[in-house]
Structure 1
């Protein structure tokens, strides 16, 4: 079982302050007035993304990238993870590759592009109806942000995947690593004990694997 070294990211929150609506670029807050099942008028405070392209039904994608080498059929498949410091939680987060969708871009195209940009790996979307998930809402009690999970196989025998080079933007500081898929639950517990934050997508994948193991699906 492998684990990443402690993050070397030295980022830190310097201050927090209210965000004026006119200055919002990525997200804002809304006050929603609605009627409950008994006809009582109520209000709800909600976050809203400002970046969803017109005509798109999602904000972005999460990428479940599984590393496999066809020449080693008995080797344990590995899942590609990342370490990225996130200001809202003031911590380095264990994540999967992910990103916002571009105008007129499909979830599949977005996932392949984001995987290449963030990790350098080239992958193929899985077939047999498992390539793209239904639309998932990240935190529907708070915001309307949503995504599709895209499941990708990375062929490690492909020469292009031997020395992958990410194409990060100047504000991206991402460390990529891979761990055995079967050990993900135990590793999440380990990372948490070391001070990392666990992205809910990573934790949910790990929990699903553990449930399948325990109930012998």
Structure 2
């Protein structure tokens, strides 16, 4: 039986960096499987990872923003951009890398401002008790069969009646070309389906979250 083997016996015993750039490393791993046999695995790792206390070992953040305006339904922000590995445009949450020794929540507010122009405040309490919804998730692996990259989802509130959000302007780098999409939170999964039908690549984590929200509403 497969469950007779304890996967905790497995461990990486050697890492060989085959190629590196300022952003990524291609690594060849040697590891022991649960039987003690030696095996190999290829992976891509973030060369920018910081293990500082502030960054909590989180490589990147993505932001689920709730935009609120008196008399209107709540909306959220998505971003559309060309992703070379996909050779096409994607639909994602605002996101970005956490700088060295940067608090992930600070990074989330910074990335939201840079990519969308909106100024947000943290939603909820990062230390919410059981039953509460935290402002930030733990470090979550994005594609553990390919990379050790982790991301944290941060919830942010945006007050559209506040003066700082009256005329939002992006603060993009020269290499960034991002279109901001403001969409209703209600029916988000159906909105994403419509994007997919038009040929856009919808980020898996975003779609999974939208599906979970729909399931939570009993649909």
Could you list the per-position Cα deviations for residues 31-54 of structure 1 after superposition, in whole angstroms to 9, with x for gaps in the alignment?
A: 111111111111111111111135
RMSD of Structure 2 on Structure 1 (CA): 1.4
**Which 10-residue stretch deviates more, 53-62 or 116-125?**
53-62
Give the 3-state SS of the residue equivalent to 2:217 in structure 1. Answer: helix
In structure 2, C-alpha distance between the alignment counterparts of 1:195 and 1:110, rounded to whole Å: 30
1:163 alignment partner, one of 161, 164, 167: 167
Residue 105 of structure 1 aligns to a residue whose secondary structure is coil
- Structure 1 stretch displaced more, 53-62 or 144-153: 53-62
Which residue does the alignment assign to 2:118? 121
- Farther off after superposition, 165-174 or 205-214: 205-214
Report the equivalent of 2:107: 110
Q: What CA deviation, in whole Å up to 9, does each residue of 1:90-142 have, x standing for no partner? A: 11100110011112210111011111111110000012422111111100111
How many positions carry a matched residue from both structures?
Answer: 192
Give the whole-Å Cα distance in 2 for the aligned partners of 1:107 and 1:51.
Answer: 14
SS in 1 for 2:82: strand
Q: 1:83·1:93 contact (CA, 8 Å) conserved in 2?
A: yes
Whole-angstrom CA distance in 1 between matches of 2:205 and 2:78: 11
Pick aligned residue for 1:186 from 164, 176, 190: 190
Q: TM-score, normalised by structure 2?
A: 0.83
Shift of 1:201: 2.3
Could you say which structure has the greater relative contact order, defined with CA pairs below 8 angstroms and 6 or more residues apart? 1
C-alpha displacement of 1:152: 0.1
Structure 2: segments with no counterpart, 5+ residues: 1-17, 129-133
**Partner residue in 1 for 2:64:** 64
Equivalent of 2:37, from 16, 26, 40? 40
1:25: how far off? 2.3
C-alpha contact (below 8 Å) 1:66/1:77 kept by paired residues: yes
Aligned partner of residue 111 in structure 1, secondary structure: helix
* 2:179 equivalent to 1:175: yes
What are the equivalent positions in structure 2 for 1:129-140 lying under 5 Å apart? Answer: 129=128, 130-140=134-144
As a proportion of its length, which structure holds more strand?
A: 2
Which of the residues 82, 85, 100 maps onto 2:82?
Answer: 85
